[in-house]
């Protein structure tokens, strides 16, 4: 039982780290352009509180840790050690599911995002000249799709077609951008 417990413990740790790095949201395809979104939270992407990677990882860690410690430091019959390890895994699973359902999901629902800055830092290319204090057009790519927006320079200068820019914000459907060469100098 020691080898099984240790392997489940390590597997649970790896799954837990993966869940921390990549999240537990379900991937969905959005039909709305990024600059038209109203929130970062999408109810369709909410994870199930019970069946998600973090809860499975917690169960594996709880079972593996308890199973290893019981195998190493007690002389109990293997059935008793297995039962107690299952209880520990179930408790860890339950606590993780409660954490997601009572804290993570409600927190994501309540999070308010300033819509103007959803695309801040996105690289784009000007496709239509923008005269000083006037508007042109730009194209940016996100998630393998290209989107077009009207553009103005944040300092009111002219933007010529073909230059690379960085989007600062989007207000009322107009992107305010800065030349990439200017941003690059600050880096």
User: Residues 174, 160: one domain?
Assistant: yes
Beta pairing class for 123-128 and 136-142: antiparallel
Q: How many residues does the chain have?
A: 187
Supply the pLDDT for residue 140.
Answer: 93
Supply the pLDDT for residue 71.
Answer: 92
Q: Which of 72, 92, 113 is the last residue of a domain?
A: 113
Q: Tens place of pLDDT for every residue, the chain, 187 residues?
A: 788 899 999 999 999 999 888 877 666 565 566 555 555 556 667 778 888 899 999 999 999 999 999 999 998 998 999 999 999 999 999 999 999 899 888 887 777 776 777 788 899 999 999 998 889 999 998 878 889 999 999 998 999 999 999 999 998 889 999 999 999 888 8
User: Residues 52, 81: one domain?
Assistant: yes
User: What is the domain range of residue 140?
Assistant: 116-186
Round to whole Å and give the CA distance between 168 and 165: 9
Quickly count: other Cβ atoms within 10 Å of residue 60's Cβ: 24
Q: Which of 85, 113, 141 is the last residue of a domain?
A: 113
Q: Which residue has the tokens 């992407």?
A: 45
User: Residues 14, 97: one domain?
Assistant: yes
Contact in structure between 111 and 40 (CB atoms under 8 Å): yes
Burial of 12-50, coded b for 16+ CB within 10 Å and e otherwise, reads beebbeebeeeebeeeeeeeeeebeeeeebeeeebbebe
User: Residues 129, 90: one domain?
Assistant: no
User: Residues 108, 121: one domain?
Assistant: no
Supply the pLDDT for residue 187.
Answer: 81
Q: Which of 98, 113, 128 is the last residue of a domain?
A: 113
What is the phi/psi pair of residue 9, to 5°? -60, -50
Residue 171's nearest CA partner among 35, 30, 40, 38 is: 35
User: Residues 98, 123: one domain?
Assistant: no
Supply the pLDDT for residue 34.
Answer: 59
Domain CATH number, residue 167: 2.40.50.140
Supply the pLDDT for residue 177.
Answer: 94
What is the phi/psi pair of residue 92, to 5°? -65, -40
Supply the pLDDT for residue 43.
Answer: 67
Contact in structure between 82 and 4 (CB atoms under 8 Å): no
User: Residues 109, 120: one domain?
Assistant: no
pTM above the 0.85 mark?
A: no
Q: Considering its fold, how many domains does the chain have in total?
A: 2
Contact in structure between 144 and 119 (CB atoms under 8 Å): no
Inter-axis angle of helices 53-73 and 2-22, nearest 10: 150
Supply the pLDDT for residue 109.
Answer: 77
Give 122's Cβ-side CA count (13 Å radius): 25
User: Residues 88, 125: one domain?
Assistant: no
């Amino acid at each position: 039982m020691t080898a099984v417990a240790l392997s489940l413990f390590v597997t649970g740790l790896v799954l837990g780290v993966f869940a921390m790095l990549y999240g537990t949201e379900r991937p969905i395809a959005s039909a709305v352009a990024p600059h038209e979104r109203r929130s970062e939270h999408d109810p369709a992407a909410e994870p199930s509180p019970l069946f998600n990677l973090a809860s499975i990882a917690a169960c594996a860690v709880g079972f593996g840790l308890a199973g290893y410690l019981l195998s190493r430091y007690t002389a109990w019959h293997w059935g008793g050690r297995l039962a107690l390890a299952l209880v520990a895994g179930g408790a860890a699973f339950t606590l993780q599911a409660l954490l997601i359902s009572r804290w993570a999901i409600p927190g994501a629902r309540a999070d308010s995002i300033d819509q103007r800055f959803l695309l801040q830092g996105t690289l784009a290319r000007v496709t239509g000249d923008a005269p000083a204090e006037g508007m042109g057009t730009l194209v940016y790519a996100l998630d393998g799709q290209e989107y077009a927006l009207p553009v103005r320079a944040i300092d009111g200068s002219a933007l010529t077609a073909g230059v690379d820019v960085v989007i600062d914000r989007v207000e009322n459907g107009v992107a305010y951008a800065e030349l990439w060469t200017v941003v690059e100098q600050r880096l």
